[in-house]
């Protein structure tokens, strides 16, 4: 008998797959000297795919099985005893041998031929062999596997449902279904309710407390703030600037520039504001102003005649009129602090250019980087190619506006 390498655990596993556990009668088994030396000729598992390797192993075992038919029963019985003893030794040394996918496929295929009573010769449990066989059969089919039940909703549709629910907490799943129909998306109410519950959102309308930010943002519609600030000319002459700002859109209305801001002039600027807002279809409910003496009673009466309620800020509390105060700082930092003003007409021309730039071109963080009065929509690079960009200089190059060439 030839000497056998006891460290080749994988070879013994493959030989054992063809070796039944018989009490008296022995099935054909190849000689160890013929079976074990095939290992050096076998390609590596990493370089060989599973199916070619499985075909190669099947061919080798078929040739070895034909060779066993010419052997005598006595030699076969003796080799079975030797192989069983070697398997017992290997099982004591290796708790769980590592099998390659081709080995699993071959053992699963042989288990379909070998009687179940002889499955004790395998290194694995019967349940493992059955699982390998089911996996082998499932992999033989080419049609795609699909889970049970209805197909899941598209990921974009799910994100849209969650977005509508988060942005509108007082909407239920049926209201969301109606909004989706308006957008051209047809989803059942049951699917919407299931999606909301999967994302931890209650599908019924919720009565939630609002935040100060959301409350003030809703109240900003219809509120206008006004203020008056001063600018000193190169001749040390003080000029007064009156402006109005809409809190919801941040749109600025320049009332005018004067050296003598009396009550009649301020009242006339209030009339001009109401006419300008009426042309744009804007309705003012409240006007916020400070307690400056220039805002006389006639100023309040003109606004009150149109249903505008005047709200006066507390004494020496500029933060109560924060929007107007912030615009004064912006106008100074971006424009007035960098120019020398000669007179009232010069200041009026400067401020009108800056106000037009502020309303139509300058981005605002509170508006999602949009301008208060955008002329056209924003075009991204995904929608149009980046061509030549033209720069337009304002106020002698102090301000720049960039536009894409037509």
**CATH number of the domain that residue 249 is part of:** 3.30.420.10
Taking alpha carbons only, the member of 235, 293, 228, 295 closest to residue 256 is 228
Query: Who's near 35: CB < 8 A, 6+ residues apart?
Result: 11, 15, 64
Q: Is residue 392 in a domain?
A: no
Paired residues of 238 in beta bridges: 232
User: Is beta strand 252-258 parallel, antiparallel or unpaired with respect to 238-246?
Assistant: antiparallel
Task: Identify whether residues 109 and 234 lie together within a single domain.
Answer: no
**Rounded to whole angstroms, how far apart are CA atoms 80 and 118?**
14
Sole residue written with tokens 């989803």 = 187
Q: Is residue 25 in a domain?
A: yes
Task: Identify whether residues 119 and 236 lie together within a single domain.
Answer: no
**Rounded to whole angstroms, how far apart are CA atoms 137 and 133?**
6
**Rounded to whole angstroms, how far apart are CA atoms 103 and 84?**
19
Task: Identify whether residues 66 and 190 lie together within a single domain.
Answer: no
Q: Between 9-17 and 73-93, two packed helices, what is the crossing angle to 10 degrees?
A: 130
Task: Identify whether residues 226 and 350 lie together within a single domain.
Answer: yes
Taking alpha carbons only, the member of 141, 137, 201, 139 closest to residue 169 is 201
Count of domains in the chain?
3
User: 274: which 2 tokens?
Assistant: 């109401």
**Rounded to whole angstroms, how far apart are CA atoms 162 and 90?**
58
At 310, which helix (H) or strand (E)?
strand 309-312
Q: Is residue 378 in a domain?
A: no
Tens-binned pLDDT, residue by residue, of the chain (406 aa)? 333 343 333 443 444 444 443 333 333 333 333 333 334 334 444 444 667 777 777 788 777 777 777 666 777 777 777 777 777 777 777 767 777 777 777 777 777 777 777 666 666 677 776 776 677 677 666 666 566 667 788 899 999 999 988 888 878 888 888 888 888 888 999 999 999 999 888 888 766 666 666 666 677 778 899 999 999 999 999 999 999 999 888 899 999 999 999 999 999 999 999 999 888 888 888 999 999 988 999 999 999 998 999 989 988 888 888 889 999 999 999 999 999 999 999 999 999 999 999 998 888 887 777 888 776 555 544 444 555 778 888 998 888 887 776 6
Q: What is the structure's pLDDT at 61?
A: 72
Q: Is residue 69 in a domain?
A: yes
Task: Identify whether residues 136 and 165 lie together within a single domain.
Answer: no
Task: Identify whether residues 82 and 132 lie together within a single domain.
Answer: yes
Structural domain harbouring 240: 217-367
Task: Identify whether residues 180 and 79 lie together within a single domain.
Answer: no
Q: Is residue 374 in a domain?
A: no
Task: Identify whether residues 24 and 134 lie together within a single domain.
Answer: yes
Q: Is residue 29 in a domain?
A: yes
At 390, which helix (H) or strand (E)?
strand 389-394
Task: Identify whether residues 127 and 186 lie together within a single domain.
Answer: no
Task: Identify whether residues 47 and 128 lie together within a single domain.
Answer: yes
Angle at 174 (CA atoms; ends 172, 179), nearest 5 degrees: 95
Query: Who's near 4: CB < 8 A, 6+ residues apart?
Result: 32, 36, 82, 86
Q: Is residue 206 in a domain?
A: no
SS3 category, 317: coil
Task: Identify whether residues 185 and 261 lie together within a single domain.
Answer: no
At 345, which helix (H) or strand (E)?
helix 344-360
Q: What is the structure's pLDDT at 101?
A: 74
Q: What is the structure's pLDDT at 207?
A: 60
Task: Identify whether residues 20 and 113 lie together within a single domain.
Answer: yes
Query: Who's near 76: CB < 8 A, 6+ residues apart?
Result: 26, 27, 28, 29, 68
Q: Is residue 310 in a domain?
A: yes
**Rounded to whole angstroms, how far apart are CA atoms 334 and 238?**
20
């Amino acid at each position: 008998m030839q000497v056998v390498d006891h460290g080749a655990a994988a070879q013994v596993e493959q030989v054992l797959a063809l070796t039944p556990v018989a009490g008296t009668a022995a099935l054909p088994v190849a000689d160890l000297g013929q079976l074990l030396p095939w290992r050096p000729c076998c390609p590596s598992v990493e370089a060989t795919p599973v199916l070619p390797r499985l075909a190669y192993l099947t061919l080798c075992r078929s040739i070895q099985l034909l060779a066993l038919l010419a052997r005598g029963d006595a030699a076969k019985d003796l080799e079975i005893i030797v192989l069983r003893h070697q398997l017992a030794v290997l099982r004591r040394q290796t708790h769980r041998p590592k099998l390659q996918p081709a080995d699993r496929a071959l053992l699963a295929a042989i288990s379909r031929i070998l009687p179940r009573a002889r499955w004790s010769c395998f290194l694995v449990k019967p349940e493992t062999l059955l699982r390998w066989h089911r996996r082998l059969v499932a992999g033989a089919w080419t049609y795609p596997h699909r889970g049970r039940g209805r197909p899941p909703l598209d990921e974009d549709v799910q994100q849209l449902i969650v977005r509508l629910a988060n942005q509108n907490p007082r909407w239920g799943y049926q209201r969301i279904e109606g909004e989706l129909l308006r957008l051209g998306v047809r989803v059942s109410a049951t699917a919407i309710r299931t999606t909301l519950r999967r994302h931890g959102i209650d599908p019924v309308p919720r009565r939630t407390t609002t935040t100060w930010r959301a409350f003030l943002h809703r109240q900003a519609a219809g509120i206008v703030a006004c203020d008056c600030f001063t600018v000193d000319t190169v001749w040390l002459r003080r000029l007064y600037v009156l402006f109005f700002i809409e809190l919801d859109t941040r749109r600025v209305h320049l009332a005018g520039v004067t050296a003598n801001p009396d009550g009649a002039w301020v009242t006339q600027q209030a009339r001009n504001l109401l006419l300008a807002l009426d042309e744009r279809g804007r309705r003012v409910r409240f006007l916020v102003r400070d307690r400056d003496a220039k805002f006389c009673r006639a100023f309040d009466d003109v606004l009150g005649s149109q249903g505008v309620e005047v709200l006066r800020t507390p004494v020496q509390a500029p933060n109560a009129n924060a929007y107007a105060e912030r615009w004064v700082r912006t106008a100074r930092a971006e424009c007035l602090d960098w120019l020398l003003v000669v007179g009232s007409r010069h200041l009026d021309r400067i401020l009108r250019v800056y106000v037009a730039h502020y309303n139509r071109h300058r981005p605002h963080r509170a508006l999602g980087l949009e301008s208060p009065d955008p002329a056209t929509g924003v075009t991204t690079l995904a929608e149009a190619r980046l061509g030549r960009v033209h720069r337009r200089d304002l106020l002698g190059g102090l301000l720049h506006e960039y536009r894409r060439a037509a």
